[in-house]
A and B are shown apart, each in its own frame.
Chain A
Amino acid sequence: MTIDEVKIGGLGASRPRVEDNRFIRGKGNYVDDIALPGMLHMELLRSPLAHARIKSIDVTAAWAIPGVRLVLTGEMMASRNLAWMPTLSYDTQAVLATDKVRFQGQEIACVVADDPYIAKDACEAIIVDYEPLPVIVNPTQAMTAGAPVIRDDKENQHDNLIFDWEVGDKDGTDAAFSAADVVSELELHYPRSHPSPIETCGSIADFDRSTSKLTVYMTTQAPHIIRAAVAMVAELPEHMIRIISPDLGGGFGNKVPVYPGYVVSILASILLERPVKWIEDKTGNLISTGFGRDVYLRGQMALRKDGKILGVRMHTDSDHGAFFSDAQPSKFKIGLMHSAFACYDIPTAHLTAQGVYTNKAPGGVAYRCSFRVTEAMFFQERMVQAAADDLGLDQAEFRRLNFVQDDDFPHRTPFGFLTDSGQYGKCLDIGLEAVGYKKFLEQKEEAKKNGRLLGIGISTMTEPLGAGNSREYDILGIKMFDSAELRVHMTGKAILRTGAKSQGQGHETTWAQIVAHELGIPADDVVVEEGDTDTAPFGMGTYASRSTPVAGAAVSMVSRKIRAKARKIAAHLLEVSEEDIDWELGRFYLRSSPDRGVTIQECAMAAYSNVPDGMEPGLENNAYYDPPNLTWPFACYIATVEVDPLTGVWDVLNMVAVDDCGVRINPMIVEGQIMGGLTEAYAMASMQFITFDDEGNCVGSNYMDYLLPTAWETPGFELHEVVTPCPHHPIGAKGIGECATVGGPAAFVNAVMDALKGSGVRNVDMPLLPDRVYEALTTSRDVSGAPPIRTS
């Protein structure tokens, strides 16, 4: 009688991904797959210069090309009060440039034409007269006295400083340093990278004059936020705006912000009363949309001789580009950078942060991370290794000595977060065992005698995933909860909608599994729909690994509401009182006579055909979930490498990952997430970066220059798991989508640094390209900053 939960695709089932059925058949429905009757095509003209005053824009020749329907410039946007728009961080961003261009690739004008070829031709026919201005490409230049003010459009902005921010206990930390036996120091740069989803950004705006309704198909991870933003920016009534985010070809944080292309396509559709499609090309995506990282970090660690960490100081200088448009909770200027050192028992810490404008693309999105957590954990684990080396302690034992212990939860982190669960030591043990730690250390010594350089690197971290709770987390004042709506049809099949938006995470598969777990309805009987603001309940979207912690919890909670109603119906059907029945998966039964029962499907039928007197018919409900805390997954990543001393090329010998993300809904999808994350971690460590030359030219504007590792160079990974359920999540799950991207890079870099140990080199900044490793090895000096662009 009992239903096997795994068989119905419930919790713990490695159920094949439902969405893959259409993806592997080429039947996905992406924005660019959509063609509406009478649709026109839009192309953006972008600035070739990073900083220049616009003297004039001549669009005469563009208008003269047959098939051109509309040419828009900043001036024309300004006449409609749309030349500027608000960002997600309370700044403003130019939609189409009016006064100046502030980064290479900035949007200057748009052409709408009958086909994209004509639109592109017409863009080339627009003549812009520029007066070049001095260019700023890093925080040092930005903060130099007398530096040109990039944001001279802003009243009271007389320099390039965006914010000065601090968190933690300065006095307490100073005292800890006074008491320290040893102070370790580290300075590093986390280079700029780009999330680079394979599908670029795009939209089709369709304004229907007869109904006054604006429908926008858009590549967005957060359709409801976009609806609110469009309502505010375009001053359209919110109920007349429908945002549809269809299948997304990846997001990684890149598809959270509002981009000029979206706004311009909307205005174009309103003006022309025809659907207008804008599909960004790859270069446009790489040079103009939300980047990740670009932070200089430095800090010190106060240490006792026996290895105990007494306190930490951190300072960050972050480069936000020309507009402060980070997508992050409003309260925190540098995201959740202060989640650093959360897995270690450190009494006190202090962080100062300074953010600046530069002539680079804006963004600062949470590239597969929970708002700057990637930089935080990278600094943490590089600092920890440096400290272990300074003390002459084994890097694994040094971590173990300082870990928060299993019975110390809940634990207040040095910057004030509250962690609630974990088995850090156990994860480390499993990792060390899997990699053969002791044996590798012996091999390393042996190899050294033959001139071979082996290294091992560890990265252990817990990170805050699943923003919010709404007390602390909001974007532009909108609280970071999430939602789910479940409709069970009379035959026991169901449709579930949430305010999240899958972009590869597999929600269509995993949400149904949660319903199956809560109600015993086979997962195959539950269809999941997201991304349409007219049908989905309000939600903050999918990023920062928040879907399972927040929307996933809402799925549980709405299922439980459904179950509560079904229980009343079951009592009615069994002609007993509610107190006399019990629940097992998929079925209510009489406690005194367990053979007598009704299935959830029978309850569903009765909900539409035979409800008790006084009960509303139907079996539908929704739930809004405001999590009591973030979830705190833990991870231990260990990499071993061999460095070729003659070329600086390094190969990964082994990469072991031990992840504790609590209860796993779909282990196969979790493993896929970890493997994808480790690939990005390897990418950051080895090659993936975007840099700029002195003129502000973006080096990394296409896939020849922006190096994404493929299956050919990505090493294999060995995965292990520990399960410490989240104490406050309805099903004990924690976020996982980003752990490996966040924690992984330090494992690779620590491994290469370990191989170079003894050469006098303390740090080589990512990416660890062969020439940089070789330079460090042969000069015995640190290699800092983004790779140099030497053009002469």
Chain B
Amino acid sequence: MYPSRFSYEAPTTVKEAIALLSKANGEAKVLAGGQSLVPMMKLRFAAPQILVDINNIPGLAFHSADPDGTYRIGALCRHVDLEKDVELAAQQPTMAAAAPVIADPIVRTRGTVVGSLCHADPQGDWASVMSALGGSIVAEGPNGRRTIPCSDFVNGPFQNLLEPEELAVEATVPPPVGTRAGGYLKLERRIGDFATAGVAVSLELSGEQVVRAGIGLTGVGPSTICADAAAETLVGQALDQSTIERAAQLASDVSQPRSDHRGSEAYKRHIVATFVTRILSNLQPATEQAT
């Protein structure tokens, strides 16, 4: 790999990292897992003057639930940390479904969840998951911390709302109001390929009734799509066949896929509907599924 010339900094505190970013006048990039940034530097698509490596900052490699149920993922939490967490399925079923299908095992071992969110690739999986969960990014800058909802965080392909001097220190998911259920399905041509289409569904249930819902769509628009109308149609309902079909149709309608070498626009819309249906059908009570 022969990237363009750059200088390398390895701060040991968040404060130090922010100071370095502030000094760099927007010419710095943060290195966490490096699974997107480094290949881009290799191809010289990215040529940052300064690389701020945050891997030496202690206290960022965590994922945990607060007593109130808020779920927090630190900036150095690797995909594999979630994949290997056997308790995650009960706490965060949508995340647990997504973690094993992020990229490939090599990328999962090194790449970070927060880094992936910041990278803002329209085909990135975590943005859909976090949007479905109503999650947020916590950004820390010279003036302290602020919280940015994931649904707003990405403002275009490979663009986010971070200021140049801000570091995304964690991602958070609000506490549930019901029992969590959910799933993530992705169509990829090969493991490690970007999604042809992906669907994240998060439900919170009270009995059989949906009390809160979120649906995020991967790879079918210029950035992650929050299928709010589809999610809304589930709230207050049980997961019967007609509700599922309605949600699938609404999700498909709101997607904005482009025809490309991964498939036609119509095909991708169809996959969105199929996956919404599959995830929700899978979450139906056993009696419903049988019918």
Chains A and B form a bound pair: yes
> A704–B2 contact, CB under 8 A?
no
Known: A710-B192, A787-B261, A790-B259. A770 touches B5 (CB 8 A): no
- Say if the beta carbon of A699 comes within 8 Å of chain B: yes
Q: Digitize B234-263: 1 where CB-to-A-CB distance is under 8 Å, 0 elsewhere.
A: 000000000000000000000000111111
Q: B261 to chain A: which residues have CB within 8 Å?
A: 691, 699, 787-790
Q: Digitize B70-112: 1 where CB-to-A-CB distance is under 8 Å, 0 elsewhere.
A: 0000000000000000000000000000000000110000000
**Which of the residues A116, A121, A646 comes within 8 Å of B274, measured between beta carbons?**
A646
Most A C-beta atoms less than 10 A away, residue of B189, B261, B270: B261
> B2–A707 contact, CB under 8 A?
no
- Say if the beta carbon of A372 comes within 8 Å of chain B: no
C-alpha spacing A647/B186, complex, angstroms: 11
C-alpha spacing A414/B44, complex, angstroms: 54
> B190–A713 contact, CB under 8 A?
yes
> A647–B264 contact, CB under 8 A?
no
> B190–A774 contact, CB under 8 A?
no
C-alpha spacing A121/B2, complex, angstroms: 9
**Which of the residues A116, A283, A770 comes within 8 Å of B187, measured between beta carbons?**
A770
Q: What's the nearest-Cβ distance from chain B to residue A261, in Å?
A: 16
The residue of chain B having its C-beta at the shortest distance from the C-beta of A770 within the complex is B187
For window 170-216 of B, CB contacts with A under 8 Å fall at: 187, 189-194, 196
Q: A124 to chain B: which residues have CB within 8 Å?
A: 44
C-alpha spacing A776/B14, complex, angstroms: 54
> B193–A707 contact, CB under 8 A?
yes
Q: What's the nearest-Cβ distance from chain B to residue A126, in Å?
A: 15
Known: A771-B264, A790-B260. A647 touches B271 (CB 8 A): yes
The residue of chain B having its C-beta at the shortest distance from the C-beta of A789 within the complex is B261
> A774–B267 contact, CB under 8 A?
yes
Most A C-beta atoms less than 10 A away, residue of B189, B260, B264: B189
> A713–B260 contact, CB under 8 A?
no
Q: What's the nearest-Cβ distance from chain A to residue B269, in Å?
A: 12
Q: B264 to chain A: which residues have CB within 8 Å?
A: 771, 775, 790
The residue of chain A having its C-beta at the shortest distance from the C-beta of B271 within the complex is A647
The main secondary structure of chain B at its interface with chain A is loop
Q: Digitize B5-29: 1 where CB-to-A-CB distance is under 8 Å, 0 elsewhere.
A: 1000000000000000000000000
> B104–A710 contact, CB under 8 A?
yes
Known: A121-B4, A713-B190, A790-B260. A771 touches B274 (CB 8 A): no
C-alpha spacing A283/B2, complex, angstroms: 13
> B2–A116 contact, CB under 8 A?
yes
> A709–B190 contact, CB under 8 A?
yes
Q: What's the nearest-Cβ distance from chain B to residue A59, in Å?
A: 19
C-alpha spacing A787/B261, complex, angstroms: 6
> A775–B2 contact, CB under 8 A?
no
Q: What's the nearest-Cβ distance from chain B to residue A105, in Å?
A: 14
Q: B104 to chain A: which residues have CB within 8 Å?
A: 710, 712
Q: B189 to chain A: which residues have CB within 8 Å?
A: 687, 707, 769-770
C-alpha spacing A117/B104, complex, angstroms: 29
For window 120-146 of B, CB contacts with A under 8 Å fall at: none
Q: What's the nearest-Cβ distance from chain B to residue A713, in Å?
A: 6
Q: A791 to chain B: which residues have CB within 8 Å?
A: 260
Q: Digitize A104-128: 1 where CB-to-B-CB distance is under 8 Å, 0 elsewhere.
A: 0000000000001100110010000
Q: B259 to chain A: which residues have CB within 8 Å?
A: 788, 790
The residue of chain B having its C-beta at the shortest distance from the C-beta of A705 within the complex is B261
Interface size class of chain B, counting residues whose CB lies under 8 Å from the partner chain? 20 to 34
Q: What's the nearest-Cβ distance from chain A to residue B119, in Å?
A: 14
> Could you count the A-B residue pairs with CB atoms below 8 Å apart for me: how many are there?
65
Q: What's the nearest-Cβ distance from chain A to residue B186, in Å?
A: 11
Q: What's the nearest-Cβ distance from chain A to residue B259, in Å?
A: 4
Q: B43 to chain A: which residues have CB within 8 Å?
A: 283, 702
> A687–B263 contact, CB under 8 A?
no
Q: B270 to chain A: which residues have CB within 8 Å?
A: 646, 774
Q: Digitize B262-281: 1 where CB-to-A-CB distance is under 8 Å, 0 elsewhere.
A: 11100100110010000000
For window 659-702 of A, CB contacts with B under 8 Å fall at: 687, 691, 699, 702
The residue of chain B having its C-beta at the shortest distance from the C-beta of A644 within the complex is B274
The residue of chain A having its C-beta at the shortest distance from the C-beta of B268 within the complex is A771
- Say if the beta carbon of A649 comes within 8 Å of chain B: yes
Known: A691-B261, A774-B267, A790-B259. A117 touches B2 (CB 8 A): yes
The residue of chain B having its C-beta at the shortest distance from the C-beta of A699 within the complex is B261
Known: A710-B104, A771-B262. A117 touches B190 (CB 8 A): no
Q: What's the nearest-Cβ distance from chain B to residue A680, in Å?
A: 14
Q: A770 to chain B: which residues have CB within 8 Å?
A: 187, 189, 196, 263
Q: What's the nearest-Cβ distance from chain B to residue A118, in Å?
A: 9
For window 17-55 of B, CB contacts with A under 8 Å fall at: 39, 43-44
Most A C-beta atoms less than 10 A away, residue of B43, B187, B190: B190
The residue of chain B having its C-beta at the shortest distance from the C-beta of A702 within the complex is B43
> B187–A647 contact, CB under 8 A?
yes
C-alpha spacing A203/B192, complex, angstroms: 31
Q: A707 to chain B: which residues have CB within 8 Å?
A: 189-190, 193
Q: B196 to chain A: which residues have CB within 8 Å?
A: 770-771
The residue of chain A having its C-beta at the shortest distance from the C-beta of B191 within the complex is A712
Most B C-beta atoms less than 10 A away, residue of A647, A702, A774, A789: A647
**Which of the residues B5, B193, B267, B271 comes within 8 Å of A117, measured between beta carbons?**
B5
> A704–B191 contact, CB under 8 A?
no
> B267–A771 contact, CB under 8 A?
yes
Q: A281 to chain B: which residues have CB within 8 Å?
A: 2
> B190–A789 contact, CB under 8 A?
no
> A687–B274 contact, CB under 8 A?
no
For window 764-792 of A, CB contacts with B under 8 Å fall at: 769-771, 774-775, 787-791
Q: A120 to chain B: which residues have CB within 8 Å?
A: 2
Q: What's the nearest-Cβ distance from chain B to residue A88, in Å?
A: 31
**Which of the residues B194, B258, B274 comes within 8 Å of A704, measured between beta carbons?**
B194
The residue of chain B having its C-beta at the shortest distance from the C-beta of A119 within the complex is B2
C-alpha spacing A20/B274, complex, angstroms: 47
> A649–B187 contact, CB under 8 A?
yes
Q: B274 to chain A: which residues have CB within 8 Å?
A: 646-647
Q: A699 to chain B: which residues have CB within 8 Å?
A: 261
Q: What's the nearest-Cβ distance from chain B to residue A551, in Å?
A: 36
For window 708-729 of A, CB contacts with B under 8 Å fall at: 708-710, 712-713
Q: A769 to chain B: which residues have CB within 8 Å?
A: 189, 262-263
C-alpha spacing A257/B194, complex, angstroms: 34
C-alpha spacing A761/B183, complex, angstroms: 34
Q: B258 to chain A: which residues have CB within 8 Å?
A: 790
> A789–B260 contact, CB under 8 A?
yes
> A710–B271 contact, CB under 8 A?
no
Q: A702 to chain B: which residues have CB within 8 Å?
A: 43
Q: A646 to chain B: which residues have CB within 8 Å?
A: 270, 274
C-alpha spacing A302/B70, complex, angstroms: 72
Q: What's the nearest-Cβ distance from chain A to residue B86, in Å?
A: 21
Known: A771-B263, A775-B264, A787-B261. A710 touches B190 (CB 8 A): yes
C-alpha spacing A709/B104, complex, angstroms: 12
C-alpha spacing A649/B186, complex, angstroms: 12
Cβ contacts A to B, 16 pairs, < 8 Å: A117-B2, A121-B4, A121-B5, A646-B270, A647-B274, A687-B190, A704-B193, A709-B190, A710-B104, A710-B192, A712-B104, A771-B263, A771-B264, A774-B270, A775-B264, A788-B259
Since A117-B2, A699-B261 are in contact, a sample of 14 more A-B pairs with Cβ atoms closer than 8 Å, ordered by chain A residue number, is: A116-B2, A121-B5, A647-B187, A647-B271, A704-B192, A704-B194, A707-B189, A707-B193, A710-B104, A769-B263, A770-B187, A770-B196, A790-B258, A790-B260
CB-based closest 4 A-B pairs: A771-B263, A790-B259, A712-B191, A120-B2
Binding site for B on A (CB under 8 A): 116-117, 120-121, 124, 281, 283, 646-647, 649, 687, 691, 699, 702, 704, 707-710, 712-713, 769-771, 774-775, 787-791
